[in-house]
Amino acid sequence: MAELGEANEAELQRLVAAEQQKAQFTAQVHHFMELCWDKCVEKPGNRLDSRTENCLSSCVDRFIDTTLAITSRFAQIVQKGGQ
């Protein structure tokens, strides 16, 4: 019976760690959104000029590259934890 309790506790710890990582990822998304906005948008209007559009595109590209790297690392950690 104690083994079942230990298994449940280990599973709970794994779930809590996964939720913490999701929360960290969400916080990073919001942080990148703020950075891109602050860096690229001087004054909001009805349309974006080409300079602002290019800046936002580059910023998003960097965000996507970063996200892929983080996701890949997360997958490696999860895979190691499952072994």
Is 90 exceeded by the pLDDT of residue 2? no
Predicted pLDDT of residue 1:
46
61: containing domain: 1-82
Cα dist. 59→11, 14, 38, 39, 56 in Å? Answer: 38, 33, 11, 9, 5
From the number of C-beta atoms within 10 Å of its C-beta (0-12, 13-18, 19+), residue 21 rates as middle
Q: CATH number of the domain that 34 lies in?
A: 1.10.287.810
Q: How many domains does the chain have?
A: 1
CA pair distance 61, 22, nearest whole angstrom: 21
pTM, to two decimals: 0.54
pLDDT per position as a tens digit, 30-65: 888 889 989 999 888 888 899 999 999 899 888 889
Is residue 27 within 8 A of residue 3, CB to CB? The reply is no
